[in-house]
């Protein structure tokens, strides 16, 4: 695996109803929120193993 750092965005009150992944190590701003201005976001798909319920996350390709 060739892993790149990132974090899952919490949209809070302005949630779109699905999780998104943002590239780069999570850094907090002055007021404790994640610094994410101008960063690319990827929609996350979550796949569950029907046998053991293990969860795997993938992001959709971004264009
Ligand atoms: Zn399994």
Residue-wise pLDDT tens digits, 3-32: 999 999 998 888 889 999 999 999 999 999
**Average model confidence (pLDDT) for the chain?**
92
Please tell me the distance between residue 55's alpha carbon and the centre of ligand 1 in angstroms.
8
pTM check: above 0.95: no
Please tell me the distance between residue 47's alpha carbon and the centre of ligand 1 in angstroms.
11
Mean pLDDT of 47-53: 98
Please tell me the distance between residue 46's alpha carbon and the centre of ligand 1 in angstroms.
14
pLDDT: is 10 or 50 the higher one?
Answer: 50
3-state DSSP assignment of residue 7: strand
Please tell me the distance between residue 58's alpha carbon and the centre of ligand 1 in angstroms.
16
Please tell me the distance between residue 7's alpha carbon and the centre of ligand 1 in angstroms.
24
Q: What is the DSSP string of 34-55?
A: B--TT--EEEEEEEE-TTT--E
């Amino acid at each position: 695996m060739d892993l790149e750092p990132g974090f899952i965005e919490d949209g809070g009150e302005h949630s779109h109803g699905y999780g998104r992944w943002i590239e780069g190590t999570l850094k907090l701003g002055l007021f404790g929120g994640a610094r994410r201005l101008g960063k690319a976001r990827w929609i996350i798909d979550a796949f569950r193993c029907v046998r053991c319920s293990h969860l795997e996350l993938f992001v959709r390709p971004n264009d």
